[in-house]
């Protein structure tokens, strides 16, 4: 059995994934930004541990990474959609920070200390090439543009990480389309799929360590091809370099 950290595990997909992994006997670490909710979920599923950190504050992400002492699998699941442009205390656009930069920081910090065997990035089929001239979306903010940009950034990161650290199995997936979560109901309205469908796909990548996932992207249970920007080596390197600058 593996020690698996699931970020954003107090609700929706993350809660379902954490619960299923724990039911299979894995040592699950529950992450969330609200201590009461984190402890409640951990108690309900019999988690092995908890971590509280608000991804809208990079200092909390650094502290969380420093507190982690060896995990087998990291599931970068935490995410949001912000209807309005919000600037965090770090001076960064909220969606890009929470959905992409915070997981980038958490993952790269772990790679420097006790690298996990596998990193699963919960991305989306909704993808848009990052605008390097306006990553913080200061001009013409749109909630779906912000979300899609952050999700493609996750996939680009997964692919680049697979090349830079071949010892770490790095992958990304679109778990399911418009699952029945609070986030979907608040933005889309009617869900198109169940949380159970998305959880099945995500748990598979997190738990089946015989499955070859290195540098691959999955749509549900099937391997798929993301936006072409994910295959642009120059764009991936630029994103990595910019990301290091933004979290410095």
**Catalytic site residue 231?**
no
Question: Which listed residue (100, 147, 217, 231) is catalytic?
Answer: 147
What phi, psi does 27 have (nearest 5°)?
-85, 105
Distances (CA, A) of 69 to 46, 49, 113, 242, 245: 19, 12, 8, 28, 26
Burial of 41-55, coded b for 16+ CB within 10 Å and e otherwise, reads bbeebebeebbbbbb
Of the candidates 203, 202, 118, 112, which has an alpha carbon nearest to the alpha carbon of residue 158?
A: 118
- Residues 116/153, Cβ–Cβ less than 8 Å: no
- Burial bucket for residue 89 (CB in 10 Å: 0-12, 13-18, 19+): exposed
Catalytic site positions: 147
């Amino acid at each position: 059995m593996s020690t698996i950290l699931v970020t954003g595990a107090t609700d929706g997909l993350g809660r379902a994934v954490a619960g299923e992994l724990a039911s299979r006997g894995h040592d699950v670490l529950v992450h969330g930004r609200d201590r009461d909710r984190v402890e409640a979920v951990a108690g309900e599923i019999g988690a092995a541990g908890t971590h509280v950190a608000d991804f809208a504050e990079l200092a909390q992400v650094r502290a969380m990474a420093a507190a982690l002492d060896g995990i087998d699998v990291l599931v970068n699941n935490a995410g949001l959609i912000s209807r309005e442009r919000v600037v965090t205390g770090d001076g960064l656009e909220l969606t890009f920070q929470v959905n992409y930069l915070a997981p980038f920081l958490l993952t790269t910090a772990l790679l420097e200390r006790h690298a996990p065997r596998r990193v699963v990035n919960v991305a989306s089929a909704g993808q848009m090439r990052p605008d390097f001239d306006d990553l913080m979306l200061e001009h013409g903010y749109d909630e779906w543009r912000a979300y899609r940009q952050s999700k493609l950034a996750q996939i680009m990161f997964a692919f680049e990480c697979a090349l830079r650290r071949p010892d770490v199995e790095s992958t990304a997936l679109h778990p399911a389309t418009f699952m029945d979560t609070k986030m979907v109901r608040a933005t889309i309205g009617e869900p198109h799929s169940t949380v159970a469908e998305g959880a099945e796909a995500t748990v598979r990548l997190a738990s089946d360590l015989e499955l070859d996932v290195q540098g691959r992207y999955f749509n549900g249970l099937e391997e798929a091809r993301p936006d072409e920007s994910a295959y642009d080596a120059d764009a991936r390197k630029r994103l990595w370099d910019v990301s290091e600058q933004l979290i410095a």
